[in-house]
Amino acid sequence: MTCKIGGQRSSFNISRKVRWILMVILVVSLLLGVSAQQPRAATNAQFGFQTQSSTAQDQVRIAAERKTEEGNALMAQGTAESLRLAVKKYEESLLLWRSIGDHSGEAAVLHGIGTIHYVLGEMRKALDNLNQALSLMRTSGDRSSEAYTLDIIGKVHASIGEKQKALGYYNQSLSLWRAAGISARVAETLNNIGGVYFDLGEKRKALDFFNETLLLSRAVGDHRVEALALGSIGAVYHVVMRLMCSSILPTWHALLVA
């Protein structure tokens, strides 16, 4: 039996780089989805009665979409400098979305800004923007975007040590994903909840969530989440092994010197 593992640090999280790539995909998809939903100026023009006010609003919408897309491109670069530039672009687009009363565009951009602040470690700014986005999403009834935002808010609270708050947001997100029947997202959220219990020292409870994640991710064929679950389970057993070694080694030492 080899017990030389005490110097290693357990972690059920995937690497920061991979997490960042996944976050970019999520946020950009959300923002592109908003742009795709916006009505176009051609609708009125087809009937020949496009008004001056609608023309002005359409021009603002086009400008807001352009600023949002520029922010998306900067965000996808993933450097600290490009992320801060992305925030500026998003903030410019935010003013435009607000000026035409487009709450979907406003919410999506706030979500993007909040996510960037989270990645940069600016947690209070992240929460401020994400909570604004959450409020707008709930008002509009956009349950999918609400679930994504609840999940990221949970991550922020977990990162700053507010584990019980994190659990609250993760459980809200879990309920929405289950109601929507999106099993892959259910599985990933279960893994997040398990991670909080892992940090709280409740290894048995964490293991239950990780095992549930593993079964569900395999059932839906989501190999990425399956890998997350396997890593999480491995982290639990790593800690258990360390505890076993810490209790056995003193006994062995006592027997040797007796």
Q: Could you give the CA distance from residue 150 to residue 133 in angstroms, rounded to a whole number?
A: 10
Structure pTM? 0.78
225 within 8 A of 11, measured Cβ to Cβ: no
pLDDT tens per residue, range 175-208: 999 999 999 999 999 999 999 999 999 999 999 9
Whole-number Cα distances in Å, 201 to 98, 196, 204, 205, 206: 44, 9, 9, 9, 9
Domain topology for 17-40+52-181:
1.25.40
Domain ranges of the chain: 17-40+52-181, 182-258
User: Domain 182-258 - what CATH class?
Assistant: mainly alpha
pLDDT tens per residue, range 41-74: 444 444 344 555 568 899 999 999 999 999 999 9
Question: From the CA atom positions of the chain, what is the Rg in Å?
Answer: 23
Give yes or no on whether 17-40+52-181 and 182-258 have one common fold: yes
170 within 8 A of 150, measured Cβ to Cβ: yes
Burial class of 40 by CB neighbour count within 10 A (0 to 12, 13 to 18, 19+): exposed
Q: What percent of the chain has pLDDT over 90?
A: 69
The yes-or-no verdict on residue 133 having pLDDT over 70 is yes
pLDDT tens per residue, range 67-122: 999 999 999 998 999 999 999 999 999 999 999 999 999 999 999 999 999 999 99
Give the pLDDT of residue 27: 60
The yes-or-no verdict on residue 19 having pLDDT over 90 is no
Task: Identify which has the larger pLDDT, 148 or 12.
Answer: 148
Q: How confident is the model at residue 253 (pLDDT cuts 50, 70, 90)?
A: very low
Whole-number Cα distances in Å, 213 to 58, 78, 120, 147, 169: 45, 29, 28, 18, 18
177 within 8 A of 148, measured Cβ to Cβ: no
- What residue has token string 């009834």? 141
100 within 8 A of 67, measured Cβ to Cβ: no
